[in-house]
């Protein structure tokens, strides 16, 4: 099952398909999320915190930067040119 996401801080659409994460590029289409932008937001990973910080993973400020959306909303965002 494909899951779609909207990354609020960078205004990008992403998806997970068979445990692989992709970002939508306006010119290239779906590209591999090599920088792990989606999973970092899903687990609340804050790279600015020190390794021993308790808020490095599970940081709600980071988690709140992503929302799951459905395929219909992906189409709406694409047609409204919001992403």
What pLDDT digit, counting tens, does each position of 2-43 carry? Answer: 999 999 999 999 999 999 999 999 999 999 999 999 999 999
Domain extent at residue 76: 3-80
Please give the backbone phi and psi of residue 23, each rounded to the nearest 5 degrees, phi first: -115, 145
| Domains identified in the chain, total number | 1
Residue 81 predicted with pLDDT over 90: no
Residues sharing a CB contact under 8 Å with residue 70, sequence separation 6 or more, in sequence order: 4
Q: How far apart are CA 82 and CA 66, in angstroms?
A: 15
What's the predicted TM-score (pTM) here? 0.89
């Amino acid at each position: 099952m494909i899951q779609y996401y909207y990354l609020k801080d960078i205004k990008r659409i992403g998806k997970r398909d068979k445990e692989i994460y992709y970002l939508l590029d306006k010119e290239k289409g779906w590209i591999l999320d090599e920088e792990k932008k989606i999973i970092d937001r899903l687990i609340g990973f804050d790279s600015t915190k020190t390794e021993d910080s308790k808020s490095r993973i599970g940081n709600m400020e980071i988690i709140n930067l992503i929302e799951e959306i459905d395929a219909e909303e992906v189409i709406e965002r694409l047609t409204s040119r919001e992403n």
